[in-house]
């Protein structure tokens, strides 16, 4: 079988599934079946591509048979294939979780459910961005996933979600305009947008033009990746969405921005003079983000700030730009995709069991649900970098790369990394203590008690959408017995537990995984495996 023919499948399969799911919009069972089958196939295809890319080098598909640099190239090298595989695994877990959460509405008042088609379009956009071999197709991938994210972020149509969605849309459009401007500048200066072709063309440009294009691309990608000072939009946009939507956003969307920074910095701008700027951005992103997290009293907002903070670790590795730094950054991206998604899924389970994610209104959950307590504690400690978890291993790799760099700024980043880890541990310990150990308050708003990811529970146990919510008053918090009656559904606990297992597997098999990231980092630094694979048989 021609393996190159598999390269576009992580994009094509979700798009085909989205169309089929939309056609089956009146049947909940059919939509669920289509989505699960499609994402399972994407996981299998991505695994095959990763094995083949690791053994035989980058796998390239020239769309329509048009060779580079004229046609559109899709490239599955070690880095992009690994990103597609991890994102597909996470998306499948989030999808199964969403079925248990009851995010999708069906019935007379909702003649067509758009959650499953939109979710699959989002996955297609993410895969296209990872596999894209030219700047304009990378832009298309961003726009596909952003268009889908606009729908998912405002799912249910509540006031809070519309406000958050408006901010998100404005920021996303601004970053897209900047990115499109960078593409126009690039094409005007070089006559191509193919990444492999640009790798040689940029070397011939005057320094000022090259630096202008680099700064424009970095600005666009930094907004999408939530790098300080362009990260203020994220903590206000993510927490209002349903837990599955927030989880997939936190796990994947910012990492696409990080991937774009990593790919362009290594392939187009090797030995960049902006390394110091990236180091400062990494340091400030880590510290400002974690200080914001420490100040929060809501679990979702706290996790949103830690998301921003830990983007700094990934930028740290890209800024160091050594083999060790890039390997550590790749490992940490994979770790963070899994852990951050896992924590947001667990936050949704906390909201369902405790009635809220506000630490002022939670308490005693360890007695009500010991399993939930463990499911929060383990990834929280992993995020904080407690040994021997994967978070600790990734941070140690990045710190070692910083020490090897030897500059004063690199040492400052190492110190900042340690401080960020300690503050992350403090924030996670505070959330653990207040949510699971201490006693709850006696008076809370009833809409915080029963509102669970855009759905309200009514007395007979049925659910109605946000669109039919009526004004509510405050009431007594349900008794412990009443909260015990809310089961911990296996469709919620199962996906969260599976992602927890993946994170633990990253610790157990850290050696082989670091071996893979080391080889991916070498490819990024050498550039030649990527370029030669794209132009094999065609010539630049």
The Cα 3–Cα 76 span in angstroms is 11
Task: State pTM to two decimals.
Answer: 0.87
CB 142 within 8 A of CB 172: no
3-state secondary structure of 67: coil
CB 383 within 8 A of CB 391: yes
Of 198, 212, 232, 457, nearest to 352 by C-alpha is 457
DSSP label at residue 68: T
Give the H/E segment covering residue 464: strand 463-465
Per-residue pLDDT of the chain in tens (540 residues, 90 and over written 9): 567 788 889 999 999 999 998 888 777 788 889 999 999 999 999 999 999 999 998 999 888 888 878 888 899 999 999 999 999 999 999 998 888 776 554 444 444 578 889 999 999 999 999 999 999 999 999 999 988 988 888 776 667 777 777 888 888 899 999 999 999 999 999 989 999 999 888 888 888 899 999 999 999 999 999 999 888 888 877 777 778 888 888 888 899 999 999 999 999 998 878 888 999 999 999 999 999 999 988 899 999 999 999 999 999 999 998 999 999 999 999 999 999 999 999 998 888 887 888 888 887 888 888 888 899 999 999 999 999 899 999 999 999 999 998 899 999 999 999 999 999 999 999 998 888 887 655 444 433 333 333 333 333 333 333 333 333 333 334 444 434 434 446 777 888 899 999 999 999 999 999 999 999 999 999 998 999 988 874 444
Cβ count near 34 (within 10 Å): 23
The Cα 167–Cα 140 span in angstroms is 21
As a dihedral over the C-alpha atoms of residue 224, residue 230, residue 235, residue 238, rounded to 10 degrees, the angle is -20
SS3 annotation, 154-196: CCCCCHHHHHHHHHHHHHHHHHHHHHHHHHHHHHHHHCCCEHH
Based on DSSP, count helices (H) and strands (E) in the chain, helices before strands.
23, 7
The Cα 529–Cα 523 span in angstroms is 6
- Where along the chain do its domains lie? 3-461+472-533
The Cα 298–Cα 361 span in angstroms is 9
The Cα 217–Cα 530 span in angstroms is 20
DSSP label at residue 406: -
């Amino acid at each position: 079988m021609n393996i190159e023919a598999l390269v576009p499948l992580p994009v094509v399969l979700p798009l085909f599934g989205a169309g089929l799911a939309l056609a089956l919009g009146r049947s909940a069972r059919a939509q669920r079946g289509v989505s699960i089958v499609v994402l399972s196939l994407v996981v299998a295809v991505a695994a095959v591509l990763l094995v083949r890319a690791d053994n035989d080098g980058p796998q390239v598909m020239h769309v329509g048979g048009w060779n580079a640099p004229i046609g559109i190239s899709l490239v599955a090298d070690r880095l992009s294939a690994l990103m597609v595989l991890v994102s597909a695994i996470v998306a499948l877990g989030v999808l199964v979780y969403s079925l248990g959460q009851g995010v999708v509405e069906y019935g007379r008042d909702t003649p067509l459910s758009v959650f499953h088609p939109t979710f699959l379009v989002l996955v297609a956009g993410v895969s296209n961005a990872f596999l894209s071999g030219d700047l304009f197709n990378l832009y298309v991938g961003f726009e596909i996933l952003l268009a889908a994210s606009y729908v998912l972020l405002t799912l249910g149509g509540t006031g809070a979600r519309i406000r958050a969605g408006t901010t998100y849309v404005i920021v996303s459009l601004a970053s897209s305009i900047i990115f499109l401007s960078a593409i126009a500048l690039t094409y005007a200066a070089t006559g191509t947008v193919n990444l492999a072709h640009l790798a040689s063309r940029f070397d011939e440009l005057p320094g000022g033009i090259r630096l202008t294009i680099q700064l424009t691309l970095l600005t666009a990608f930094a907004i999408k990746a939530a790098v300080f000072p362009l990260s203020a939009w994220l903590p206000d946009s993510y927490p209002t969405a349903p837990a599955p939507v927030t989880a997939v956003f936190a796990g994947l969307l910012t990492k696409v921005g990080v991937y774009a920074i990593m790919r362009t910095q290594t392939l187009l701008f090797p030995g960049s003079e902006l390394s110091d700027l990236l180091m400062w951005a990494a340091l400030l992103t880590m510290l400002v983000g974690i200080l914001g997290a420490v100040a929060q009293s809501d679990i979702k907002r706290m996790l949103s700030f830690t998301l921003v903070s830990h983007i700094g670790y990934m930028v740290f590795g890209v800024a160091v730009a050594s083999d060790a730094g890039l390997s550590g950054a790749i490992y940490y991206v994979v770790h963070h995709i899994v852990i951050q998604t896992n924590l947001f899924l667990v936050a949704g389970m906390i909201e369902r069991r405790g009635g809220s994610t506000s630490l002022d209104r939670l308490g005693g959950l360890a007695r009500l649900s010991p399993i939930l307590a463990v499911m929060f504690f383990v990834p929280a400690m992993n995020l904080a970098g407690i040994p021997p978890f994967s978070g600790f291993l990734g941070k140690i790799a990045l710190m070692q790369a910083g020490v090897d760099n030897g500059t004063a700024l690199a040492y400052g980043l190492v110190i900042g990394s340690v401080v960020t880890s300690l503050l992350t541990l403090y924030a996670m310990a505070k959330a653990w203590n207040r949510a699971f150990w201490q006693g709850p308050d006696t008076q809370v708003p009833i809409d915080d008690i029963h509102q669970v990811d855009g759905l309200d529970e009514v007395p007979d146990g049925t659910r109605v959408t946000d669109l039919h919510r009526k004004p509510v008053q405050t009431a007594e918090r349900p008794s412990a017995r009443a909260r015990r009656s809310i089961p911990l559904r296996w469709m919620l606990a199962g996906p969260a537990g599976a992602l927890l297992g993946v994170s633990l597997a990253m610790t157990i098999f850290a050696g082989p995984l670091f071996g893979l990231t080391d080889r991916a980092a070498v490819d990024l630094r050498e550039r030649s495996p990527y370029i030669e694979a794209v132009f094999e048989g065609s010539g630049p």
